[in-house]
Amino acid sequence: MPRLPEFLALTAEQREIQLAVRAFAAQEIAPHAARWDRESHFPREVLPGMAELGLFGMLIPEAYGGLGLDTVSYLLALEEIAAADAATAVTMSVHNSLPTQMILHYGTEAQRMRFLPPMARGDILGAFALSEADAGSDASALRTQAVRDGDAYVLNGTKAWVTNGSEAGVILTMARTDTAGARNGARGIAAFIVTPDLPGVRVGKHESKMGLRASPTVQLVFDNLRVPIDQLLGEPDAGFIYAMASLEHGRLGIATQAVGIARAAFDHAVAYAAERRQFGKAIKEHEAIQFKLADMATRISGARALLFAAAAAKDRGEGVTQLAAMAKLTASETAMWVATQAVQVFGGYGYVTDYPVERLFRDAKVTEIYEGTSEIQRIVIARELYGE
Ligand code: CAA
């Protein structure tokens, strides 16, 4: 029995994808998520099964070895992975939404043919290196330098908060091509397809995070890294614009991850409220709990409706800058709120690691932070109001 209404008019193919990924996630991912979190274990062993389902090439056209599916299908699959384990979901989201999309949209035919087929097969994971220690929300303040030297660019600098960074075979990296004296802001930045086999790339600090502990987040240090010119993506002054445009896709991915987390927290709360007895009856019979569950169901359905409206608009080829920001803002704040309520329904048991809701509570928080904080989403939404 579904606990939330499936209000989307899915095609037969989309429904099939949703059910296949749901079954896979229930069997291969959900039972292990608590241990992976506890042990900070990156679940490499689950990647081949995900790859077999095509989950690393959902948006990559068939000509480059992917499934060539629409955004709605991709996000339906991602939602199922996220409901089972948010950490595995961010691995999938970053790979599909950022590096593969950037190579597909801005790469040369040779770059697409070289990188997309192994990425679609899941042989190579992708990462996205934009942020730095002093350039988070203010992303265009990044300082990693890229200096042209013959047939290569030489990169120096340190990237921060790189999801998949220690596991990736392709790291889409933004670096400044303008010289120190002539900062052109967002315009003086290029995007590079960095591969970790190049001498001069080193994985730095592994972050120890509050949540998503099974997803590796690292610093990447570039020390006189020579990136061959054929691994420059598009125009040398347009990398920031490519990154911003791709983050629209990324933000839909994180919104989906948040919906998955909220759904999981809600499911646990519903089940627990039916089992737990206080004052002589199951706590679901108490109005205080009923109202909580009703509000959780309503908020999740609202966030999901906005998310899939944004995804459908993207599939129609419409600009979704504002909608993607709204979906990410709504879904992440919903995830945090729903996870908080779920902990409350569990009471003391919600506060201990024997039960899953404390992990969901910890996992939810980052969705309000990465790929643009809630404050940045509000800026993006407000700017669009005036067409800025
Ligand atoms: N699509 C296309 N182009 C865009 C765009 C979009 N959505 N948004 C901005 N641009 C273009 C602008 O048109 C502008 O181009 P011109 O120079 O031609 O005018 C250029 O990009 C610069 O834009 P802004 O002037 O708006 O830049 P800004 O410095 O004021 O920054 C910002 C705007 C919205 C605050 C931006 O810095 C931002 O989004 N910050 C948040 C950073 C972020 O989301 N980081 C995520 C890190 S990745 C991550 O978390 C992944 C992970 O591992 C999970």
pLDDT tens-digit series, residues 224-233? 999 999 999 9
Res 181: pLDDT: 56
**Is the minimum distance from the CB of 18 to ligand 1 under 6 angstroms?**
no
Q: Which of 287, 371, 384, 388 is catalytic?
A: 371
Distance CA 287, CA 243 (A): 47
**Is the minimum distance from the CB of 105 to ligand 1 under 6 angstroms?**
no
Res 378: pLDDT: 98
**Is the minimum distance from the CB of 192 to ligand 1 under 6 angstroms?**
no
Using alpha carbons only, how large is the chain's radius of gyration in Å?
21
Give tens-digit pLDDT for 163-191: 999 999 999 999 999 866 566 678 899 99
Q: How far is CA 241 from CA 10, 130, 135, 188, 290, in A?
A: 33, 12, 16, 10, 47
Mutate to test the pocket of ligand 1, among 101, 106, 241 (most ligand atoms within 8 A of CB): 241
> Which residue CA neighbors atom 53 of ligand 1 most closely?
163
Res 178: pLDDT: 84
Mutate to test the pocket of ligand 1, among 140, 162, 320 (most ligand atoms within 8 A of CB): 140
Distance CA 8, CA 71 (A): 14
Give tens-digit pLDDT for 13-71: 999 999 999 999 999 999 999 999 999 999 999 999 999 999 999 999 999 999 999 99
Helix residue ranges per DSSP H, the chain: 12-24, 33-38, 47-52, 71-84, 86-97, 99-106, 109-121, 239-275, 287-315, 321-346, 357-366, 374-385
Please state which of the ranges 53-62, 120-129, 323-332, 378-387 shows the lowest mean pLDDT.
378-387
Q: Parallel, antiparallel, or unpaired: how do β-strands 152-163 and 232-233 relate?
A: unpaired
Q: What is the mean pLDDT of residues 283-299?
A: 98
Q: What is the mean pLDDT of residues 237-243?
A: 97
Res 214: pLDDT: 98
Question: Domains in the chain and their CATH numbers?
Answer: 12-121 (1.10.540.10), 126-237 (2.40.110.10), 241-385 (1.20.140.10)
Res 186: pLDDT: 83
Res 357: pLDDT: 98
pTM of the model: 0.97
Q: How far is the CA of 58 from the centre of ligand 1 (A)?
A: 25
Instruction: Mark whether 371 is an active-site residue.
Output: yes
**Is the minimum distance from the CB of 244 to ligand 1 under 6 angstroms?**
yes
Q: What is the mean pLDDT of residues 258-282?
A: 98
Distance CA 200, CA 173 (A): 14
Res 129: pLDDT: 98
**Is the minimum distance from the CB of 321 to ligand 1 under 6 angstroms?**
yes
**Is the minimum distance from the CB of 130 to ligand 1 under 6 angstroms?**
yes
> Which residue CA neighbors atom 48 of ligand 1 most closely?
371
Per-residue pLDDT for 294 more than 60? yes
* The ligand 1 atom nearest the CA atom of 240: 21
Give tens-digit pLDDT for 301-311: 999 999 999 99
**Is the minimum distance from the CB of 242 to ligand 1 under 6 angstroms?**
no
Name, in order, each residue with C-beta under 8 angstroms of 65's C-beta and a sequence gap of 6 or more.
57, 116, 117, 118, 120, 121
Give which of 276, 359, 332, 372 is closest to 34, Cα–Cα. Answer: 359
Q: How far is the CA of 245 from the centre of ligand 1 (A)?
A: 8
Res 138: pLDDT: 96
> Which residue CA neighbors atom 14 of ligand 1 most closely?
241
Res 187: pLDDT: 87
> Which residue CA neighbors atom 11 of ligand 1 most closely?
241
Q: How far is the CA of 371 from the centre of ligand 1 (A)?
A: 10
